[in-house]
Amino acid sequence: MTRCPITDLVLTQAQETAQELKARNIGTRHILWAITQNETCGGYQLLVRCEINITELRQILSSRMRYGNRKKSQSAATYNLRGHAVLNEAEAYAAARKAASAGTDHLVFALLKMRDSVACEALERAGLLLDDVIEQMGEPLELVA
C-alpha cells in the first residue's frame, strides 16, 4: 500500500517536530501534531467535520510535548513501536476500504485505535470518538471490528 503525497509530507513534518524537540523517536503525538498543522490534509478535514476544536486539540497536545535530552547532531528520529503500529494500521485500514493510497484520515483512524497512546488520549479529551470517525468516513462498524 502506498501513501498519498500529503501523508508523506505530514509524516516528514512529524519527524521534523520530533527532531526539533530532540526526541529519540517519532510517536503518535508527533504524527497528530503534524496533522493539526496541515489544514488541507484529509485528517485535518476529518477532525473539522467531527467538530473538533483544532486549537484546543493543539493545546492538549502541546501540554504533552516535551523536549528530549539528545543532542541535535545525533541521527534522525525514527518511529517508535506505536508510531510503526499506527502506520501499519492506517495502511491496513486504507486497503480494507479499497483506497488507492493511505491518507491522513486513515492515520486519524489508526491513532484512535491506539488506545494507550498520547494521541488517542488527546483526541478523546478533545471530544473525538472512534465511532465519530467511522461515521464520517462512511464505514460499517463490522469492517473495523
Confidence of residue 130 (pLDDT cuts 50, 70, 90): confident
Residue 34 lies in a domain: yes
**Band of residue 64 on the pLDDT scale cut at 50, 70, 90:** confident
- Tell me how many domains the chain contains: 1
| Biggest CA pair distance of the chain | 47
β-bridge mates for residue 3, sequence order = 102
Is 143 domain-assigned?
no
Does residue 87 lie in a domain region?
Answer: yes
Q: What pLDDT does 143 receive?
A: 42
Residue 3, classed as helix, strand or coil, is: strand
CATH value at residue 69 = 1.10.1780.10
45 part of a folded domain: yes
Residues β-bridged to residue 26: 79
Coil, strand or helix: which one is 25? Answer: strand
74-110 tens-digit pLDDT: 567 899 999 999 999 999 989 988 899 999 999 998 9
Domain extent for 112: 5-138
Amino acid of residue 145: A
Find which of 10-14, 79-83, 117-121, 136-140 is predicted with most confidence, using mean pLDDT.
Answer: 10-14
Angle CA 8–13–17, to nearest 5: 150
Distance CA 109, CA 45 (A): 13
Q: Coil, strand or helix: which one is 79?
A: strand
